[in-house]
Amino acid sequence: MTGPLSASVATLCDQIAGQASAEAGGLVRQISSRLSEPLRVAIAGRLKAGKSTLVNALIGRRVAPTAVGECTRVVTRFRYGPADRVDVVTRDGQRRSLPLDDEGMIPQRLGVPAGRVAYVDVTLTNERLRELTVVDTPGLASADTVVSRRAQEAAGLSAAPFDADIDAASASEVAAAEAVIYVFTQAVRADDVHALEAFRDASARLASTPINALGVFGKADTLVAGTGDPWPVAVSLAERQAELLARTVSDVVPLAGLVAETAQAGRLTGADRDDLAALAGLPAAALRLMLASADLFRTRPSPVPAERRQRLLGLLDLYGIGYAVAQLADEPELSTGELVRRLGAASGFPRLRHTVEETFRWRSDAIKAGWALSRLERLAGRSRDDRDRALLRDGVQRLLRDPAYHRLRLLDAAQRVATGAVPLPADWEQELTRLATSEDPRWILRLPQAGPDELYRAAVEAANRWRVYAVAGAGPAQSRVAQVAQRGFHLLAQRVRADD
């Protein structure tokens, strides 16, 4: 759904396209058409970090293969469509259609040599994809991975972060995303940070910052052995990861990815529930021993056949099995649907979904509008036609004079600061980020209980503080950012007074 900021930019694009040269008009129409599409979110991470599992949980359907194969080494785009369809798009623009496999997933073998594949385009009749297009990327390699000269040239890097060759078409598909989710394993190593920075550089149009990037610790349930409670450790670890990556992601959310995928995709059947109930009836000591390790769970005597226990491991792993068995032991009549709901809650997915909505969806209008305006400005800078250049620049400046569009200037300023392009003291940087990414004056001003009068005074004080910084104590780049922040707090004060 197109928001008000994007709609205004689309109107501007239509006006410019009707007056510009044929070449510039065509490029402007491409920018306009992109505004009507759902927000694109790229999923990035190391090999076997759980990216495809997260994709399936977000979509609510198990369609992305999680085992390493041909389709996990290319960019895959999941978007809404009138029918389920898989197209392999080759580097020369041709499309080869494939059926989903017997389990409703993308086939492991694409039928086209990997070197010829640009990306895989998957359309699904899935309501979750009406407002969110998900782009699954190949695994990020470690910093010392050797990649081809072509991949390096396409990404513009001395060492590209992907584990397989990424050509220009694939890189552009990733770079078309407006937001990114990084999936981590148990710890963020130095080469993880390097790989993420390289991914950001390879996706120059994405320009991921805390404004539009989120971290997910996708295997939180593996932190403790057996069925122990992983969340105290996972939450603490995620907080440390968030501190380490403060300039890259807005937050790091822990997730039991496999349990989330199973719950969200509706993979747990009534027969699975009955098998879990049978395990819940075992003596406590026998059950505790079974759940001590995956090997013991497979091999110990049990009323559930070995192949059924293997299926449960594939659905829930030990943490999910232990949680489900405990629920059924307490409530033997628990329905399959209620068990699935509780497993979903226990996976941490509700928090992730809420965070994605707070971080991306409500900002999507501003993110997309800002993306389009930056494309128009870039087009103006590259235009050789004086008339086209004037049309583009005048149109952008006219739109930005509207107070509603000052939010885009704030986002741009916050991104420049977050990437380190414009250094600011940490507390100033955090205040600017809050102002750019929220509409809640209490959260922006850190006054959760304040009334309108106190909020108004605090906003005015903040505006004055940034004004003083802009004229005394700041360099030219900091001064420009400070002027944007000053106007932002001035507009915030006006809004607080108007709402009173």
Tens digit of pLDDT for each residue in 341-352? 999 999 999 999
What pLDDT, on the 0 to 100 scale, is given for residue 208?
A: 56
Chain segment 453-496, per-residue pLDDT in tens:
999 999 999 999 999 999 886 788 999 999 999 999 999 999 99
pLDDT value at 289 more than 80: yes
User: Does residue 260 carry a pLDDT above 80?
Assistant: yes
- Band (248; pLDDT cuts 50, 70, 90): confident
Alpha-carbon distance of 306 to 255, in angstroms, equals 28
pLDDT at position 394, please? 93
Report whether 192 contacts 46 (CB < 8 A): yes
Of residues 212 and 218, more confidently modeled: 218
pLDDT averaged over every residue in the chain: 83
Distances (CA, A) of 170 to 98, 245, 281: 19, 26, 52
**First and final CA of the chain: distance in angstroms?**
30
Average pLDDT for 242-248? 75
Q: 323-338, pLDDT tens digit by residue?
A: 999 999 999 999 999 9
Among the listed ranges 117-121, 255-259, 277-281, which one has the minimum average pLDDT value? Answer: 117-121
Residue 36 reports pLDDT greater than 60: yes
pTM over 0.85: no
Q: pLDDT class for 355, splitting at 50, 70, 90? A: confident
Tell me the C-alpha distance between 55 and 258, whole Å. 11
Report the pLDDT averaged over residues 43-72: 83
**From CA 206, how far away is CA 17, in angstroms rounded?**
25
- What pLDDT score was predicted for residue 443? 86
Pairing of strands 85-90, 117-124: antiparallel
Q: What is the mean pLDDT of the segment spanning 315-319?
A: 95
**pLDDT over threshold 80, residue 75:** yes
Distance CA 136, CA 461 (A): 45
CB of 456 within 8 A of CB of 497?
yes
- Contacts (Cβ under 8 Å, ≥6 apart) of 74: 110, 114, 117, 119, 120, 138, 164, 170
In this prediction, residue 492 carries a pLDDT of 94
- Three-state secondary structure along the chain? CCCHHHHHHHHHHHHHHHHCCHHHHHHHHHHHHHHCCCEEEEEEEECCCCHHHHHHHHHCCCCCCCCCCHHHHCCEEEEECCCCEEEEEECCCCEEEECCCCCCCCCCCCCCCHHHEEEEEEEECCHHHHCEEEEECCCECCCCCCCCHHHHHHHCCCCCCECCCCCHHHHHHHHCCCEEEEEECCCCCHHHHHHHHHHHHHCCCCCCCCCCEEEEECEHHHCCCCCCCCHHHHHHHHHHHHHHCCCCCCCEEECEHHHHHHHHCCCCCHHHHHHHHHHHCCCHHHHHHHCCCHHHHHHCCCCCCHHHHHHHHHHHHHHHHHHHHHHHHHCCCCCHHHHHHHHHHHCCHHHHHHHHHHHHHCCHHHHHHHHHHHHHHHHHHHCCCHHHHHHHHHHHHHHHCCHHHHHHHHHHHHHHHHCCCCCCCHHHHHHHHHHHHCCCHHHHCCCCCCCHHHHHHHHHHHHHHHHHHHHCCCCHHHHHHHHHHHHHHHHHHHHHHHHC
State what percent of residues in the chain have pLDDT above 70: 84
Q: Which residues contact 288 (CB under 8 A, 6 or more apart)?
A: none
10 pLDDT exceeds 60?
Answer: yes
Closest alpha carbon to 256 in 349, 192, 324: 349
Task: For residues 282-309, give the mean pLDDT.
Answer: 94
What is the arithmetic mean of pLDDT over 108-128?
87
> What pLDDT score was predicted for residue 148?
33
Which residue, chain included where needed, has tokens 């997730």?
255
pLDDT band, residue 264 (cuts 50/70/90): very high
Instruction: Confirm if 44 and 137 have CB atoms less than 8 A apart.
Output: yes
How far are the Cα atoms of 220, 290, 291, 339, 425 from residue 282, in angstroms, in the given order? 27, 10, 12, 19, 59
- 67 versus 23: which is more confidently predicted? 23
- Would the pLDDT of 273 be above 80? yes
What is the per-residue pLDDT for 139?
67
Instruction: Give the amino acid at 207.
Output: A
Is residue 34 pLDDT above 70, yes or no? yes
**Of 77, 92, 93, 88, the residue nearest 37 (C-alpha):** 77
Task: Give the per-residue pLDDT at 159.
Answer: 34
pLDDT score of 69: 62
**What's the CA gap between 392 and 341, in Å, rounded?**
51
- Judge whether residue 287 has pLDDT over 60: yes
Rounded distance between C-alpha atoms, residue 402 and residue 376, angstroms: 17
410: pLDDT strictly greater than 90: no
Residue-level pLDDT at 290: 94
Check residues 21 and 141 and name the one with the higher pLDDT: 21
Residue 193: band (very low, low, confident or very high) from pLDDT cuts 50, 70, 90: low
pLDDT score, position 409: 82
pLDDT band at 165 (very low <50, low <70, confident <90, very high): very low
Give the percent of the chain with pLDDT over 90: 46
* Confidence at 146, pLDDT banded by 50, 70, 90: very low
54-58, 79-83, 249-253, 318-322: range with lowest mean pLDDT: 249-253
